[in-house]
Amino acid sequence: MVRFILPRSTFSFNNIIDNNMREGGVLDYSQSIFYEGDEVFSRTTHNNVIGNRAPAAPYPVGGRYSSGYYLYGGIHNYNLDSENHIGNSINNTIDKWTENVNGESGSYLPYIANLHGSTYGDGVSNTPRVYIGTSVEETMRSRVRDFLRPIETNGNVPINVINLSNVDDTPDPLAHGIVWKVEVNGFDAQDEYALLDPLGVGTHEFKVYFNREMDTSVDPQVSYGVTIPYNQKIITETGTWSDAGKVYTVVHEIKISGADGINRIRVQDAQDLDYFKIPVEDSRFNFLLQSAGSASTGFLAQGGLGKIDLEWVAPSADELDDVLGYNMYRYQIDDDGNESEPEKLNETLIIEDTDESTTGVYFTDYDVVEGQTYFYKYKILRTSFEETDYSNTVSSAPVTSTLGDSNGDFDVNVLDLVHDVDYILGNNPEPFIFVAGDVNADNTINVLDIVGTVDIILNGDGGDVGGNSMDINFYPSEPIGYADFSWEGNDLYVESMHSIGGLQLAFDADFEYVLHDLPGVERLDYTQDESKVLMLYSFNNTAIASTRTKLLTRLDSTKEIDIDLAVAGTTTGAKLTPRFKGGELDGIDSPFQSNSLEFLKLFPNPSNGAITLEYYLPKNMDGTVAKVYDMVGRLVWIQAIEREEGMQQADLNLNSLQKGNYVVIISAGNNSGEQLINHKLLILK
């Protein structure tokens, strides 16, 4: 199908449907042109020709045997440049040929042709009714490439144009059975390939269309693959025929495999009602497979101080039941957009976290530099010691800040202390660099971060500082001692072997007290989660207590007051374990705050169907819903959930859904048009 130039060229056409042949047919055509002396010869080979005429080959193309021109079906373009190639004798032969063909009233012209010589027409051919495997002209042109290339003949006006407006966009039902088109998830896998989303783990619909009624007792074999013969994956599910017997539909479940990329669809073995076996179709229909990538939808990268944390969900046993572990790869992109070669980061195999409360896979990259963006993707290592294709790619950069710099101004000072206090009160200060303000890396902001930041301001990062990343020295989050609280009458005392620099105590909301005189110590009272919280801290490392010290006196001696929660730390930011009545107390977390809808948790995951969503709304919304989509993009569940500001929970019972991968979306909106959205991947097993 490319332009050929003498002395010798070969071209071929495969699966061209020729409706002009009285009985229709499929033509597999190849032709060679060669010359001997002044004669031009053509050797033509026809395979699978269905029609009422028989080919003749070889035969001269010259004028001596004009009655032998039986060229069938296909697209021919003769470009014989007498000046630049083989001389006037050949040109004269072509002149004779075209004259002789014209003399036969055109009955032997090729069905799609543009024959030109020095005396032949204007070079414009109108095509007859013929189907060439597509309804998209751009695709047609790609198969008849030469017809769009103007050719100058002896310096004259360019000719060699073909009009495709008369081409059929569907094959003739009178022709023997052939594959007309293949749809994947509702899109033509040839003509609408650009609209077809990548196929991932889950179920997908394949529809094979035939040009005529088929023998429905013979199912076609549908397969796909990335290399010839495109049958690396055979679809084994049983399909169904349409009532008219022209469409075969099969729903296929894709699991994680090693064949990601552009896959070619192959259809074979069907037969029509004349017992004609269809030609194998493996040349037109494609889809992009991203099974390993789709299974990693929950792959996340979070930049921190001197590190990037990576997290993803392990595939279910239905997707892949022979997971040995994971290998993490990283690359970067330079200023010219060139990707570096992916480098493997882990020295030992990454395995899934066995903690039931996390049910994820985790890896942290500490070998990072501020100001650089890093791209990550992983591969699954199977028990056969073969790796799957890459997951999808995520990217992040280390946080550009310093420890204690919670307001992100690249300086640690009293402004950061005010910023931290504002965050503890739940006022959502902006910007708030959480990983910088969380100086002991315990994933919460509390009084320990206040005294730690004070220590950074006064003493740098010395004191009790330890290192749990490569470059950033965080304050230790493991306790180094105890802070014991006790009542003596109406007075509350604290005692420790260490100098206490910060305290947070949570009491019943109606608790009234008088604070003992503590020079140089700041006091903050606030309410959180229906508790009254007292926070004591200093901006200059003043000790609240160094031995047994009275903190406060209660005003109502008839009330039994317990301490519900507490946080205690040393003047250098180290953590102390608070104890009351012989038991250790849980800590106090700062209120969650954000300007966005945050989808915080989805558990359990994987699940048998009953799941709980935890999410945060930055304001009251007019409507909030949870939606569940399958991997084909179909909405399979929708449920209204709480729409009030703050932390919320919602329970969903998805037992009616089939096992597989789903995307859970939380969507919130206001009547003003404001929309908030977030999502997580769910695995039903």
Which of 674, 600, 682, 685 is closest to 636 using CA atoms?
682
- For residue range 436-483, list pLDDT tens digits in order: 899 988 889 999 999 999 988 888 754 333 333 345 678 888 999 999
CATH 2.60.40.10 positions along the chain are 179-292, 295-396
Residue 42 has pLDDT above 80, yes or no: no
Q: What are the backbone dihedrals phi and psi of residue 414, each rounded to the nearest 5 degrees, phi first?
A: -65, -25
The CATH T-level fold of domain 598-684 is Immunoglobulin-like (2.60.40)
**Looking at per-residue confidence, does 78 or 282 come out higher?**
282
Domain boundaries for CATH 2.60.40.1220 within the chain: 598-684
Question: Which letter does DSSP use for residue 280 in this model?
Answer: P
CA 89 to each of CA 92, 93, 176: distance values in angstroms, whole numbers, following the listed order: 5, 6, 43
**Does position 661 have pLDDT exceeding 90, yes or no?**
no
Q: Is residue 273 very low, low, confident or very high in pLDDT (cuts 50, 70, 90)? A: very high
Q: Span 264-279, mean pLDDT? A: 92
Express each pLDDT in 117-137 by its tens digit. 222 334 444 445 567 788 787
Q: Which two structure tokens, joined as six digits, stand for 200?
A: 């991932």
> The tokens of 524 are what?
């903050």
How is residue 248 annotated by DSSP? E
Distance (Å, whole) CA 439 – CA 644? 32
Spatial distance between the Cα atoms of 455 and 457, rounded to a whole number of angstroms: 5
**Does residue 195 register a pLDDT over 70?**
yes
Q: Which of 139-143, 425-429, 508-512, 607-611 has the least mean pLDDT?
A: 139-143
What is the pLDDT at residue 461?
52
Query: 414-424 vs 447-459: helix axis angle to the nearest 10?
Result: 180
In 3D, which of 107, 106, 133, 29 has the Cα closest to residue 74?
A: 29
**Cβ-Cβ contacts under 8 Å for 607 (sequence gap 6 or more):** 654, 682, 683, 684, 685
Give the model's pLDDT for residue 677.
Answer: 86
Higher pLDDT, 488 or 128: 488
- Report the alpha-carbon distance of residue 508 to residue 530 in Å, rounded: 8
SS3 letters for 379-402? EEEECCCCECCCCCCEEECCCCCC
- pLDDT of 129 reads 59
SS (H, E, C) 49-107: CCCCCCCCCCEECCHHHHHHCCCCCCEEEECCCCCCCCCHHHHHHHHHHHHHHHHCCCC
What does the pLDDT average to over 495-502?
A: 92
pLDDT, residue 296, reads: 62
Architecture of domain 482-584: Sandwich (2.60)
Percentage of the chain lying above the pLDDT 90 cut: 27
Question: Would the pLDDT of 303 be above 90?
Answer: no
- Reply yes or no on whether the pLDDT at 214 is more than 80: yes
User: Does residue 347 carry a pLDDT above 70?
Assistant: yes
For residue 402, name the pLDDT band (cuts at 50, 70, 90): confident
* Residues pairing with 682 in the sheet: 662
CA dist., res. 600 & res. 472, Å (int): 27
pLDDT given for residue 641 in this prediction: 94
pLDDT digits (tens, 9 = 90+) for 613-629: 999 998 899 999 999 98
- Can you give the pLDDT at residue 96? 28
pLDDT of 421 over the 80 cut = yes
* Mean pLDDT along residues 489-515: 90
Residue 193 pLDDT greater than 70, yes or no? yes
- Given a cut of 60, whether residue 86 has pLDDT beyond it is no
Instruction: Look at residue 315 in the predicted model and tell me its pLDDT.
Output: 76
Using alpha carbons, select from 592, 590, 645 the residue that is nearest to residue 622: 645
Position 55 pLDDT exceeds 90:
no
pLDDT at 585: 92
CATH 2.60.40.680 domain position(s) in the chain = 482-584
Confidence of residue 98 (pLDDT cuts 50, 70, 90): very low
- CATH code of 295-396, in short, is 2.60.40.10
- Range scoring the smallest mean pLDDT among 69-73, 297-301, 541-545: 69-73
Strand partners, 183: 188, 207
Which helix (H) or strand (E) segment holds residue 614: the answer is strand 610-617
pLDDT at 382: 80
Question: Would you state the pLDDT for residue 433?
Answer: 84
Residues 6 or more apart whose CB falls under 8 angstroms from that of 348 comprise none
pLDDT above 70: percentage of residues in the chain? 72
- Winning range, highest mean pLDDT, from 10-24, 406-420, 551-565, 572-586: 572-586
- Of the CATH numbers 3.40.50.1010, 3.20.20.80, 2.60.40.10, 3.40.50.720, which one belongs to the domain with range 179-292? 2.60.40.10
| Residue of 140 and 575 predicted with greater confidence | 575
User: Would you say 644 and 617 are in contact if contact means Cβ atoms under 8 Å apart?
Assistant: yes
User: What's the pLDDT score for residue 297?
Assistant: 60
Any idea which of 44-48, 157-161, 189-193, 415-419 has the lowest mean pLDDT?
44-48
How does residue 243 score in pLDDT terms, banded at 50, 70 and 90?
A: very high
pLDDT of residue 357: 54
pLDDT band at 9 (very low <50, low <70, confident <90, very high): very low
- What would the mean pLDDT of 545-571 be, rounded to a whole number? 88
